[in-house]
Structure 1
């Protein structure tokens, strides 16, 4: 068996059926071997797009995304996507050839020669490993898949010397910690808050059961969106960055945080919780700063914890102790909101974009909490209110939103919409949304997926429209025009300093879409209707909206 055949056979043994990448001189043997196993080979227009597409595929499918590049510039082009996957705990396997085993590891003019590409990828991945024999290839890949299954998932890179490609030759993390202690703390608490991160994705039912039993509200991180039904009355959606959410959490005598770093990129401030903190996380390092640490996968720990809590306090008993009221859908007032850099980003009258339904029961004190959080959300997103309301109306509950690092997304959509988001937190790359959406649609072709991006971010990977057209994907792509890098422009004003290098010429996105073979429409009078048409189309649709200033 050749080295390339060993790669293909091992990937097939781990049920890999889709690989993202671009063929090149040094990886042709790999493409030949993968083809012989009937794998689907997706060809984006740039290796960064391949990495983002594999990222989106992994987030939706729950399986590692696999990226295959060529040597040197090919794998380095995918480094930004690897860094993003590292930040967001996404299982990404990047495979590339390297210089031959006989190469002297100094500059000789070898094609795509790189001083040390494994070291370069090691800097942005969990780890990078260069194999030295054909026999080592299956075990190296097995280590990667064991790493994905057994701990916090992050990207890894396997480098295979080019001359080895043609040369012949389930682990789970146990629950550790005191579940009975955690159950006793939750059952005895006056007020409980629940935070769900991306690691809680498979434990939504148990989390909701706990919330109902304990009369608790649930806030998610950005990566945790979609864990609970978007319209459920206990689901506050993503909003750890809101001051009102942090104020509420500090009124809770017990907070349960599941599968989240509680990272600065989630919090936007130096928020400190002073009460009893129960943390459930697969990564032991994430549980150190907690009162009751439980090292476990959420899907293993939460159902067991819920059963213990139910034994201590039933939902019926709780309802007998405190009266229930319906939720108010409308609330008005005045509020000013600051962004992560301290600059004001929203102020003025409150207008409801997506409120909790009146049906459902919560205690009266929580109604005030929900209203305060709704007020701050509305102020934060007021600049895009009509568009966000129209988008919310067009989206089914199961829809997934691939969003970019654009003001329209993190101040607007993330503050109002509760559907599942694919979003590049932490590492904060631009150009993520479109290729990630492509990967998500490949993982589940029947899933409604839409793209939200600003004009600056979309131009990083707008060429992937060609890939989406080629695949016949019905992606609504809503692009908000603000003439450049709006967040950086706002930070320049806040310093204050002259506004330099942030104003960008935007192309005619409608004509650009049509040039790629997609549909395009600018400033539609009926945005909801156009999104609906886009979901029903057989090619992607670029919908241009103008940001209000």
Structure 2
């Protein structure tokens, strides 16, 4: 265990008692953020972004300093995934923003709403290459490649409007990250008067009555319907269950949709989109209802070829035919569409042809689930013991945060069933490393009463190990369970599969327990899953993170 160190008081700063009440665009931006519900920001102050901090505390926004901007982005991502509310990131220009780019790409791939604020070169100095501190040729364009859009407001009023527009559009559009680059002269400009309030947000699109009627016709005539639920369905868990039960339809989820239907429900197949048994179930369906998923390559490398009709529901019209052409595309918010379908099914008597389908659907779901689990065991049975032990010891509502680690996608995803959504956080499409620890910090801060555990591999942990200091400073009771397989296990196996001698994948690692103690955390080593689980349960009441290291070997 790490000793309790006395912490010195804050240093006496020059001018600390003479703080100015001057208002700038930065002050107005902070007030606009608070008016839109922002309460927590992650980031690092820098030379050029100081005005963003001028009004932050007075606006009621808590700021958490991470030890790297990438960590700030992942922490904000974890906050957003658990709550469903946007995460906020503040960086300085140039290297600060670039350090956050991996997190921005992760949020884009997985449809997570992040607002990233940074300063930029002063107006008129774009692409000037005159040696300005942190200067980039085109910082906005670089960020724009990783997010839904990057905007550069030209006036103080436009900067505030950019904040309001971002939140308003999230209410009705696919939630993806947005970057606002405020030119330094605009950021530091004086602001007089009140800050305009938030924009009135539009309602998310509801499905057309004609589309609902057509979908109901297809579904109620189906003998073997199947539902695919992606990350876009998370807000519609209640009506999704109603629709599944009314139709007797098995539900296959993506990793992002894990838990949207209680995975102990008899119609739940689980997060097995790309598994052979799930593929057969989906392709044999006479109607396939896909809700909020792009059916992306990360989980479904080989395109589906269903024999029946395909109904696709998505908030993003660009997704309605992507990777699988829809027979019936329904442009709508998933919750609105599922609620309309649930209401339509409830309004009619159990249609002819649906009687008895629930039991048949449960049998089909059970067969597919068993086949998928058999394949999961073949792929990653070595990771199952840890999942079973931790699940038995930790509270039932625990949030499990993973990484691009084998213990996550071969272990937690298939072997840790969840009863509700937003409890398994892991990078999917962008498949970044270093996500787990900072995302767990963000999730823990998002809902302080809910337990959180980070479960990841040693390779992923070393990408963001410095954020242990952040967790220690915040006094977070956070178990961080590291299954140490001596490096990049998946890449090692990929090399062997290609008849390449493993090279550059077996890593020297520090003593993780000692490193944790040096960073102000607890650190312990264990030798089996049961011991790891007991330490994780105890860590939920500690006054700082606890790193639990189980060396499982390559």
TM-score (norm 2): 0.88
Task: Provide the C-alpha distance between the structure 2 equivalents of 1:24 and 1:467, rounded to a whole number of angstroms.
Answer: 18
The aligned counterpart of 2:521 is 518
Residue 298, structure 1, aligned to residue 303, structure 2: no
Instruction: Quickly say closer, same or farther: Cα 1:363–1:126, change in 2 above 3 A.
Output: closer
518, 533, 537: which one aligns with 2:542: 537
Residue 370 of structure 1: how far off its partner (Å): 2.9
* 8 A Cα contact 1:97 1:160, kept in partner: yes
SS at match of 2:464: helix
1:91-138 superposed Cα distances (whole Å, 9 cap, x missing partner): 111110111125363222221111111111011111111112112111
479, 485, 490: which one aligns with 2:488: 485
Residue 520 of structure 1: how far off its partner (Å): 1.9
1:448-463 alignment runs, 5 A limit: 448-463=451-466
1:30-70 superposed Cα distances (whole Å, 9 cap, x missing partner): 11111221210110000000011111111112111111111
Residue 132, structure 1, aligned to residue 165, structure 2: no
1:16-415 alignment runs, 5 A limit: 16-103=38-125, 105-169=127-191, 170-177=201-208, 178-288=211-321, 289-312=325-348, 314=350, 318=354, 321=356, 324=359, 363-415=362-414
SS at match of 1:264: coil
SS at match of 1:35: coil
Q: Which runs of 5+ in 2 are unaligned?
A: 1-22, 192-200
* 8 A Cα contact 2:400 2:455, kept in partner: yes
Instruction: Quickly say closer, same or farther: Cα 1:218–1:33, change in 2 above 3 A.
Output: same
Task: Provide the C-alpha distance between the structure 1 equivalents of 2:259 and 2:399, rounded to a whole number of angstroms.
Answer: 8
The aligned counterpart of 2:13 is none
Residue 498 of structure 1: how far off its partner (Å): 2.6
Task: Provide the C-alpha distance between the structure 2 equivalents of 1:12 and 1:425, rounded to a whole number of angstroms.
Answer: 30
427, 431, 435: which one aligns with 1:424: 427
Task: Provide the C-alpha distance between the structure 2 equivalents of 1:232 and 1:425, rounded to a whole number of angstroms.
Answer: 24
Task: Provide the C-alpha distance between the structure 2 equivalents of 1:161 and 1:493, rounded to a whole number of angstroms.
Answer: 50
Residue 205 of structure 1: how far off its partner (Å): 1.0
SS at match of 1:456: helix
Task: Provide the C-alpha distance between the structure 2 equivalents of 1:104 and 1:230, rounded to a whole number of angstroms.
Answer: 52
Instruction: Quickly say closer, same or farther: Cα 1:74–1:323, change in 2 above 3 A.
Output: closer
Task: Provide the C-alpha distance between the structure 2 equivalents of 1:521 and 1:441, rounded to a whole number of angstroms.
Answer: 21
Q: CA RMSD in A?
A: 2.0
Deviates more, 1:530-539 or 1:38-47: 530-539
* 8 A Cα contact 2:220 2:353, kept in partner: no
TM-score (norm 1): 0.89
Q: Which runs of 5+ in 1 are unaligned?
A: 325-360
Aligned residues: 512
Task: Provide the C-alpha distance between the structure 1 equivalents of 2:33 and 2:127, rounded to a whole number of angstroms.
Answer: 29
Task: Provide the C-alpha distance between the structure 2 equivalents of 1:104 and 1:195, rounded to a whole number of angstroms.
Answer: 46
SS at match of 2:465: helix
* 8 A Cα contact 2:388 2:416, kept in partner: no
Instruction: Quickly say closer, same or farther: Cα 1:541–1:268, change in 2 above 3 A.
Output: farther
